[in-house]
Amino acid sequence: MRLSKLELTELAGNTLEALDFVREKSVTEKDVTYIFGVLDGNTSVKTLTIEECNMTDSAVIKLAECLQDHPYITRLHLAGNQITNQGLRALMSVPHLEYISVAFNNVSSNIVREVLARDPNKPIILTGNPNISASELGQMKAHFKQTARPRRLDAADTMQSTLTTPAAHPAAFHTPKRKLSDANHKQPKRHHKDQNTTVLDAELDALLGGPRFVK
């Protein structure tokens, strides 16, 4: 696993805000060390995505350790891996993380009480974990309901509750581009005749004895 030259350049220049790894064969502790070696000195990356990369708890624990020294990264998208309660607890110990998605992993209901004790402004997304019930998901949704919608949402967060495994929907974790609603589109500016054009039209009308053109 390696970054492209363009990504390395953007990281060095502090212009990249989100770093994504999707559908890598695996992301191990060694890979995490590489990622944060590249990120050394960077302050622009705010969001780190590692989705569908067979990431296990050992790699996540290493990730949590590295994040302690990188307070600028505040959002994690880790859907579709092999993370359990152990890995999630490690991430929850990182105080500056504002958003954690471990949707479609192997987290169990034993950790729900700890999640519900978390700051409501720092949501944890557990959609699609088969050992967490719909009622528990409802409790967490209510707990975090006052939280502003994140800049980037895992598609898994908005999928129907009937989807339970990433294998059945391999493209489940890629966020589709959303079209703005008509209400969000600004109405085009209307073009009006300027004052000079109006005066010129009046003068022409006077010279020609009446309106020359139907306006």
**How far apart are alpha carbons 128 and 138 in whole angstroms?**
13
Other CB atoms within a 10 A radius of the CB of residue 65 amount to: 16
Is pTM beyond 0.75? Reply is no
**How far apart are alpha carbons 183 and 9 in whole angstroms?**
38
Q: Which domains does the chain have, with CATH numbers?
A: 5-185 (3.80.10.10)
pLDDT digit string, tens, across residues 122-131: 999 999 999 9
Question: Tokens in use for 211?
Answer: 């309106």
Rg (CA), the chain: 26
pLDDT band at 98 (very low <50, low <70, confident <90, very high): very high
**Which amino acid, one-letter code, is at 138?**
G
pLDDT digit string, tens, across residues 70-88: 999 999 999 999 999 999 9
**Phi then psi for 148, rounded to 5 degrees?**
-65, 145
Longest distance between any two alpha carbons in the chain, whole Å? 90
pLDDT band at 13 (very low <50, low <70, confident <90, very high): confident
Q: Which pLDDT does position 1 carry in this prediction? A: 65
Q: Which pLDDT does position 59 carry in this prediction? A: 97
Pick 138 or 205 by higher pLDDT. Answer: 138
Mean pLDDT over 190-200 rounds to: 40
